[in-house]
Every structure is written in C-alpha cells, then in structure tokens.
Amino acid sequence: MPPNRRVTLKQVAERAEVSRAAASFALSGRPGVSDATRTKVLRIASELGYAPNQVAQNLRSSRTGMVAVYLPEDVSTLSYYMEATFGVIDEAEQSGHTVTLIPHRPTGLNRLQADGIIMLDPTRGDPMIGHLLDLGLPVISGEELPEPSDDDLPRPSSPQSLERSAEVAGLVTSDHAASTVELLEHFVARGARRPGIIASSVPMAWSMTVEATYRQWCADRELNPLVEYASLDGLEETTRRATRNLLDTGTVDAILALADGSALNVITSAAEYGRRVGEDLLVAATVDSPVLSYTDPAVTAVDLRPREFGRRCMSVLSRVLDAADASPDTLAEVVDTEVIYRASTRGTAGDR
Amino acid sequence: MPPNRRVTLKQVAERAEVSRAAASFALSGRPGVSDATRTKVLRIASELGYAPNQVAQNLRSSRTGMVAVYLPEDVSTLSYYMEATFGVIDEAEQSGHTVTLIPHRPTGLNRLQADGIIMLDPTRGDPMIGHLLDLGLPVISGEELPEPSDDDLPRPSSPQSLERSAEVAGLVTSDHAASTVELLEHFVARGARRPGIIASSVPMAWSMTVEATYRQWCADRELNPLVEYASLDGLEETTRRATRNLLDTGTVDAILALADGSALNVITSAAEYGRRVGEDLLVAATVDSPVLSYTDPAVTAVDLRPREFGRRCMSVLSRVLDAADASPDTLAEVVDTEVIYRASTRGTAGDR
DNA sequence: GCCGATCACTTAATCGATTTAGTATGGTCT
DNA sequence: AGACCATACTAAATCGATTAAGTGATCGGC
C-alpha cells in the first residue's frame, strides 16, 4: 500500500496462502501449479502492485541486468550518439535490461557491472577499448573495431585474452561505402564535375571507409582526389583551413563533408568566395544532424538511422546473451541508411 | 584467476583462513579484527583482484546503486544534455552509483530500479514528470519544475502523494536571467539599438525565464519587444519563419536566439536580406553548442557549463541520499554560466 | 488392492555480502 | 583464584527471488 515500501514475493504468497515457491511458479508462468492457484496468485500480485525486485533476481541468476554503452570521448556529432543510445534503451527495455553509460576514464572499471558492452564507433588509439575487451564480457561493436595502431601500448594480457579480444561477439555496421558512392553520383547527376572531400582525421572505421571510398571512386574516374582534413586538435581552426583550402583551388564544384561542423563551415563561408551553395557549389554531409536542416540552404546528408542502429546493437547483444554458450562466430548486421536530399545539392541539372 | 569467474568474498576469506564475516570487517575498515588479520585480508583481496559484488551489496542494503536520469523527449540542443548526463556520470562514479537513462514511454516505469531520479529541463505537459514524481523516490530537478498547466490531466494520486510531488528533493539551476541581461547589454555596448528575440515555444522553465527577462528589459527601456517563436511542431518551418519575420521588420539590429538552430538560420540567411552578421546585425544564442563555433562568423553564446551542471545535480542527490531521513527543505544550487563572446557580436563600437 | 506415476505443492538451499548474536581466549582487578 | 571484561573471531540470519529436492495425495493399470 505505501508506495515507498515495495511489495515482496513473500507478501504475495502469504496473501494467496501458498508458499513462496508456488507463487514464484505461478508468476513466472511455468508448470507446477494448478490453474486455480495461478489465477489467484496473479490477481493478488496485481492487486498489491507486486513488481519483482530485480536486484534479488539478478543476484540469483548471477546477472546484473545491465548493459553498458561506451561512447567515444571526443565527438563532433553528438546527436548521432544520443539517438543511438536511446535506440539501445528502447530495445533494452524489451529484454529487461537497464542501460548504463561507461565513463571515459579507466578508474573503477573493474567495478563495472554489466552483462554485456556496446561500443559505438570505437576509436583507434583509445586505451579504453582494450580495457573493455579484456573484461571478459560479450562486446558488440557499433561500426568495425579498428586495428590497434603500432604506437598503441600492447595490452598486458595473457595469450588467452589476446585471442578473445581479436573477436567481438557481434558487429553492427552501416554501409558507408554505398552511401558515399550514392552522394558522389548524386553530385555528378546534379552537374558537378570535381567533388572534393573534407575528411576527418579521427581514426574511426566509418570515416576511414568514407575517405577510402572517395579515393577509389576518384581513381576509377582518373580524377585527382581533393582531400582536406579537419583534425581533432584545433577542430575549429583545422575545419576552417580545410574549407579555405578546398575553395581556394577554384576547381572544386562539390564538397563532401564528413562532420556536420565542416559542412556548416562550408555553407557559411561560401559567399566570401563568391560561391552559391546549391548552385555552383554543391555540399553534402555523410552524417545527418539536426543543424543541417536549419541552414539556408539546408544540407543534403546521410541519415544513418542512429536510433535503429542502437536498437540493432542491443538486439544482437540480447541474442548473444541468450545463446549463452554456443556462439562460435560473431553475429553481424548491417543497418540501412538513406540519403536525405536537400537544397544544398539542388544543382543546375533540372529538378530534384 | 579466470577473469570470467569473479572473485567472491568467500574465496578471499578461505585463502586468508578467516570467516567471511572477519574478511568483511577487514575490507570495510571497521573495528573487530586485529591489524595483522586486516592487512592479511587486504593483501589477499588485492592479490586475487577481489571486487565486491554490487548486486549482492545492494540486495543486502536494499538499495539499487542506480541513479536514473530523465531527459526531455524533444530536444533541439542535444549537446547540452549529453554533456550534462556525462557530468552526472562523473559525479556518480564518486559515490559508487551507476547511471541509467529513463525511456520516454511510461511502459514499465514500475519496474524502474533506482535510488533517486535526476530530471533535466522538465517540460510542462510531459506526463512522465508526474509519473516520476509519484514514484516516491528523491527527485532532483535540473532547472525549475514548471507549474502543471491547466489542461494536464490531474494525476491519479492520493493527497499524500500530491503533497509530496509539490516538492522536489533538490533543485539545480543556472542564472538565465543574468546571462540574458548580459547578452542584451552586450548588444547595446556593441552598437545595437533594437534587439529582437527568437524564443522557443517549448515550455521549459529556462526558456520562459529568458523570454520574460527580455520582455522586462524592453519594458524598462520603453522598447517594444520584438518576439518571434520557433515551435516544436514544424521546427524547421517555424524557425525559418521567425527569422524571416524579424529580418523583415528592418528595424532589428540584433537577434537573441534561444536555440542553436535558430541562431544558425539567422546566420545563414542574413545575406539574403543584405545584412552582415557581426556588423549591422548582431546575433547571439542563449545556449552554446559546438556548431556555433563552426559558423562564419562564429556565434556569441552562453556557456551553461552543462558538465558542471550535471555534476552538481548528482552531488545534490548524493547529499539527499546520505541525509536519509532528515531533509525538511529542498537543497538548491546555482551553477555559474559564462558568455562566450564571438565574432557575431563584434559590432561597430571599437574592439573587444 | 497394490505399485508406480503424476500432480500440486512445500521445504530448504542458493546467489554474495552484511550484520547480529554468540563463543573462546586472554588479561586485569580484587 | 574467581569474577569480570575487552578483544578477536565464528556461526548464523538476513536481503528477495529462484529452483532442486522432497512430500503427500490422487489416479490409472493390471
């Protein structure tokens, strides 16, 4: 009755005049009790507002009921991670898991309680990645795990753990290569001849895929790739410089920006170079973000469906957790993306 | 030894040749064991890499060890909440709490396990707010709790719970009135005479404070307030319209935008009206966001120190949880803010 | 009419840590 | 030497749910 004192199974059992075990059977829907008893217990449970104490359940089942999400520390595009995290939460609710966020510092990592880990966009060189893999928990990687770089310290781990960390339990990706090609072809269809790219020096798998795809696309057409970088150190300054360098060439008539910040900078400074975005300068971004629809003109971008992406990560993790023992190969899934066409790539060749 | 099998207190006790109770006393630092035993237990515990099972601890202490954070469903400025949430996590780590995010749907709310709740920017009309307040857990509100509007359904709650929900256990705010005045005065100091505002129709306490402060400021100077709204329904369209309406007046020479999207739209469409941002049109935003530093010119904005804000919310909650029984009045704290001056308010009146 | 099987249920062990109550040891005081 | 007490520890209960093992009753088959 008092909402501060929670109803326990024992109380339900007493009211129903059965043992705690019988009540437990009835509530969990397993055989062993008569239909009469079952309905009675269920009725009383709902009357009393019984909700099982998850802490007790978890202790018994030696699970934590928690899923830990790890996000990159330095992110330029926050909305993606926010949405993806809520996608994880959506799906975690289904399987009765709670979602916790992992701090970026390794302090107290051994205190981390979770049944599994979801890493979004693991960054090469981030020492946390190794620590998390070494925890012995099933890990789902959102976007590919980058190869450890040479200057990374070798993790102090036994051969056994090395072997384990070579594999994640599941992998969810988006087809960045396909969406990059779609954007580049769209540039061409809208009348552009020389697309350039403002890449990111952040060593995440997806950004490397986009850049490599662009370079390959240029190679296929015997075009000289026009690549400028925005780096995490001095992000604003390098973003501005990348924009300036591309526009200074004078030959660029389309720009593919990896980060929303870069696209934004192109939009707002194009006028200084006498360029009109959407007409003689097409602009698109590889990751959509709310801000890209507020600019004038609004910016064409790839909707990575982050919410769905997060849901899929959690759903893969659920399957891994249920499989318990037998999961020899890692589960892999691809989330569909969609290019959102906006005014920044209207171009000169007809409508739409 | 195997990292997948966690070390338990029993194992430590056996290795140290004492009872589990003695080991527990030793580890928790309470009297009742000799110094020799204590050091021995501690040594063995660290050798074995013992970490107490928090699930068991929580069951025993009938706490959950979790803090639940509730974010508004429709947010235009994501980075603020992201940062604030990580601030909560920073501080929660200190007190050994895990942070979970609350889904926006009330489904399964009674299954929510937490020792306390932190609501960020509670929105008037959001039915979740009532539900969360009725849970009987200590609630910290980040920014004031709005008065329930008339058309809100009365919550089905006993008088007792009504009384309780009238009060939150703690309140953390930023001084939006002060920062608004600072921005307006800055406009004037930079040569502006007629500032307008693109307000938000989102009924959150802070946005209402900013708008009210602006109106009062105008009234004090016998100026006619120039207010346009960007509403959540059709955010892009209303944002554009608000910008257009303000610029169409021709009299506006400074614009204060509540959301980063609005500020952005002003920046990118000013040229069409023959205005030069930072010269004959000053622009500032009441909430800083990464995108505001990538535009050209970059936009002056208020840094609300969201990370610190989140930390303070959690620290207040910690105090409430420790106080246990005696906390008659709600704890209140104010987080300092800082205006970040950028090129969009350079103006005509000298340097700065 | 008796054996075995099935059903419906209860008892008790279990998860891992904390904590109360209880016990043995040694020392001090008179 | 016996009473008394503090110290250092152990045994066992506890948190709330799950589940293996056990008990009694009923039923069917031959």
Distance (Å) of CA B275 to CA B283, B347, B351: 11, 12, 20
Nucleotides in C strand less than 7 A from protein CB: 7-12, 14-21
Average pLDDT of the segment spanning B96-118: 86
Domain annotation covers residue B2: no
Domain annotation covers residue A57: no
Q: Please tell me which of the candidates A53, A78, A96 has its beta carbon nearest to residue B78.
A: A78
Q: Are residues B46 and B90 in the same domain?
A: no
How far does A47 lie from chain B, in Å, by closest CA?
14
Domain annotation covers residue A115: yes
**Among the ranges given (A91-95, B228-232, B283-287), the one the predictor scored with the smallest mean pLDDT:** A91-95
How many residues are recorded in chain A? 352
The reported pLDDT for the residue numbered A119 is: 97
Domain annotation covers residue B61: no
- Give residues with Cβ within 8 angstroms of B326, minimum separation 6: none
Q: Please tell me which of the candidates A66, A100, A295 has its beta carbon nearest to residue B264.
A: A295
What is the spatial distance between Cα B286 and Cα A261, in angstroms, rounded to a whole number? 19
Does A81 contact B82 at a Cβ distance shorter than 8 Å?
Answer: yes
Q: Which residue has tokens 């120190």?
A: B305
Q: Are residues B266 and B122 in the same domain?
A: no
For the residues of A263-318, what is the DSSP string, one character each?
A: HHHHHHHGGGGT--BTTTBEEEESS--GGGGTSSSPPEEEE--HHHHHHHHHHHHH
Does A262 contact B294 at a Cβ distance shorter than 8 Å?
Answer: yes
- Name B256's bridge partners: B197, B284
CA–C1' A40–C6 (A): 23
Q: Are residues A297 and A213 in the same domain?
A: yes
Helix axes B54-61, A54-61, angle to 10 degrees: 140
Residue A2 has pLDDT above 50, yes or no: no
The reported pLDDT for the residue numbered B233 is: 83
Burial string for B84-115 (b: 16+ CB within 10 Å, else e) reads bbbbbbbbbbebebbbbbbbbeeeeeeebbbb
Residue B237 has pLDDT above 50, yes or no: yes
- Give residues with Cβ within 8 angstroms of B196, minimum separation 6: B226, B227, B228, B246, B249, B252, B254, B255, B256
The reported pLDDT for the residue numbered B326 is: 59
Q: Please tell me which of the candidates A51, A104, A136 has its beta carbon nearest to residue B111.
A: A51
Domain annotation covers residue B298: yes
Which of A71-75, B146-150, B218-222 holds the top average pLDDT? B218-222
Q: Which two tokens stand for residue B196?
A: 């307008």
Looking at beta carbons, which residues of chain A come within 8 Å of B81? 82
Chain B interface test: which of A291, A314, A344 (most B C-beta within 10 Å):
A291
Selection from B346, B176, B177 nearest residue B278 by Cα: B346
How far does B220 lie from chain A, in Å, by closest CA?
33
- Name B255's bridge partners: B196, B283
What is the spatial distance between Cα B256 and Cα B345, in angstroms, rounded to a whole number? 11
Chain A interface test: which of B268, B272, B293 (most A C-beta within 10 Å):
B268
Q: Are residues A72 and A162 in the same domain?
A: yes
Say if residues B84 and B70 touch (Cβ distance below 8 Å): no
- Give residues with Cβ within 8 angstroms of A341, minimum separation 6: A186, A300, A352
Domain annotation covers residue A114: yes
Does A236 contact B272 at a Cβ distance shorter than 8 Å?
Answer: no
Average pLDDT of the segment spanning B84-103: 87
Average pLDDT of every residue of chain A: 88
The reported pLDDT for the residue numbered B90 is: 87
Domain annotation covers residue B130: yes
How far does A294 lie from chain B, in Å, by closest CA?
5
Neighbours of B279 (CB within 10 A): 14
How far does A78 lie from chain B, in Å, by closest CA?
6
Q: Residue A19, CA: closest nucleotide via C1'? A: C10
Task: Give the count of domains, chain A.
Answer: 3
Q: Residue B19, CA: closest nucleotide via C1'? A: D10
Say if residues B95 and B116 touch (Cβ distance below 8 Å): no
CB hemisphere CA count around A23 (13 angstroms): 21
How far does B83 lie from chain A, in Å, by closest CA?
9
Q: Is B143 left (phi over 0), alpha (psi -120 to 50) or beta?
A: left
Q: Please tell me which of the candidates A104, A264, A297 has its beta carbon nearest to residue B294.
A: A264
Residue A216 has pLDDT above 80, yes or no: yes
The reported pLDDT for the residue numbered A296 is: 92
The reported pLDDT for the residue numbered B184 is: 98
Does B290 contact A261 at a Cβ distance shorter than 8 Å?
Answer: yes
How far does A18 lie from chain B, in Å, by closest CA?
24
The reported pLDDT for the residue numbered B110 is: 77
Domain annotation covers residue A257: yes
For the residues of B187-216, what is the DSSP string, one character each?
A: HHHTT-S-EEEEEE-S-BHHHHHHHHHHHH
The reported pLDDT for the residue numbered A76 is: 63
Does B264 contact A269 at a Cβ distance shorter than 8 Å?
Answer: no
Does B113 contact A3 at a Cβ distance shorter than 8 Å?
Answer: no
pLDDT tens digits along B296-319: 999 999 999 999 999 999 999 999
Higher pLDDT, A165 or A125: A125
**Among the ranges given (A76-90, A182-196, B90-104, B158-172), the one the predictor scored with the smallest mean pLDDT:** B158-172
Cis before B225? omega within 30: no
Residue B327 has pLDDT above 80, yes or no: no
The reported pLDDT for the residue numbered B248 is: 93
Higher pLDDT, B244 or B111: B244
Q: Where are the beta strands (DSSP E) in chain A?
A: 66-70, 98-101, 116-120, 139-142, 170-174, 195-200, 227-230, 254-257, 282-285, 300-303, 331-335, 338-340
pLDDT tens digits along B162-201: 444 457 999 999 999 999 999 999 999 999 999 999 998 8
pLDDT tens digits along A130-181: 999 988 899 999 999 987 655 555 544 444 444 444 579 999 999 999 999 9
Say if residues A215 and A225 touch (Cβ distance below 8 Å): yes
**Helix, strand, coil distribution of chain B in percent, nearest 5:** 45, 15, 40
Helix axes B176-189, B205-220, angle to 10 degrees: 40
Does B78 contact A54 at a Cβ distance shorter than 8 Å?
Answer: no
Neighbours of A159 (CB within 10 A): 7
Q: Is the CB of B161 under 7 A from strand D?
A: no
CATH number of domain containing A16 = 1.10.260.40
Say if residues A83 and A38 touch (Cβ distance below 8 Å): no
Chain B nearest-CA residue for A94: B108
Average pLDDT of every residue of chain B: 88
The reported pLDDT for the residue numbered A349 is: 61
The reported pLDDT for the residue numbered A162 is: 43
For the residues of A20-32, what is the DSSP string, one character each?
A: HHHHHHHHHT-SS
What 3-state DSSP class applies to B30?
coil
CA torsion angle B291 B295 B301 B303 (round to 10): 40
- Give residues with Cβ within 8 angstroms of B268, minimum separation 6: A267, A268, A294, A295, A296, A297, B295
Chain A nearest-CA residue for B107: A93
pLDDT tens digits along A30-69: 988 999 999 999 999 999 999 999 899 999 998 888 899 9
What is the spatial distance between Cα B79 and Cα B75, in angstroms, rounded to a whole number? 10
Residue B112 has pLDDT above 50, yes or no: yes
Q: Which two tokens stand for residue B342?
A: 């950028």
Chain A nearest-CA residue for B138: A4
User: How wide is the angle at C-alpha A181 spanned by C-alphas A229 and A201, nearest 5°?
Assistant: 20
Q: Please tell me which of the candidates A55, A81, A236 has its beta carbon nearest to residue B59.
A: A55
Residue B12 has pLDDT above 90, yes or no: yes
Q: Are residues A204 and A289 in the same domain?
A: yes
A232: confidence class by pLDDT, cuts 50, 70, 90: confident
pLDDT tens digits along A7-25: 999 999 999 999 999 999 9
Does B290 contact A96 at a Cβ distance shorter than 8 Å?
Answer: no
Looking at beta carbons, which residues of chain A come within 8 Å of B118? none
Higher pLDDT, B147 or A260: A260
Q: Are residues A122 and A152 in the same domain?
A: yes
- Give residues with Cβ within 8 angstroms of B46, minimum separation 6: none
Q: Are residues A182 and A299 in the same domain?
A: yes
Q: Are residues B168 and B182 in the same domain?
A: no
Q: Are residues A128 and A220 in the same domain?
A: no
Average pLDDT of the segment spanning A108-126: 90
Q: Please tell me which of the candidates B82, B98, B135 has its beta carbon nearest to residue A78.
A: B82
What 3-state DSSP class applies to A110?
helix
The reported pLDDT for the residue numbered A330 is: 75
CATH number of domain containing B189 = 3.40.50.2300
The reported pLDDT for the residue numbered A250 is: 87
Looking at beta carbons, which residues of chain A come within 8 Å of B261? 290-291, 294
Q: Is the CB of A314 under 7 A from strand D?
A: no
Does A272 contact B76 at a Cβ distance shorter than 8 Å?
Answer: no
B150: confidence class by pLDDT, cuts 50, 70, 90: low
The reported pLDDT for the residue numbered A157 is: 46
Can you give the residue range of the structural domain that contains A205?
Answer: 176-303+339-345
B203: confidence class by pLDDT, cuts 50, 70, 90: confident
Q: Are residues B158 and B253 in the same domain?
A: no
Q: Are residues B205 and B247 in the same domain?
A: yes
Burial of A188 (C-beta count, 10 Å sphere; 0-12/13-18/19+): middle
A82: confidence class by pLDDT, cuts 50, 70, 90: confident
The reported pLDDT for the residue numbered B149 is: 58
Q: Are residues B169 and B313 in the same domain?
A: yes
Q: Is the CB of A34 under 7 A from strand D?
A: no
The reported pLDDT for the residue numbered B76 is: 63
Q: Are strands A139-142 and A98-101 parallel, antiparallel or unpaired?
A: unpaired
Selection from A267, A270, A268, A274 nearest residue A342 by Cα: A267
User: How wide is the angle at C-alpha A80 spanned by C-alphas A76 and A85, nearest 5°?
Assistant: 120
- Give the whole-number percent of chain A exceeding pLDDT 90: 68
pLDDT tens digits along A294-304: 999 999 999 99
Residue A223 has pLDDT above 60, yes or no: yes
- Give the whole-number percent of chain B exceeding pLDDT 70: 90
- Give residues with Cβ within 8 angstroms of A161, minimum separation 6: A134, A136, A155, B3
The reported pLDDT for the residue numbered A111 is: 77
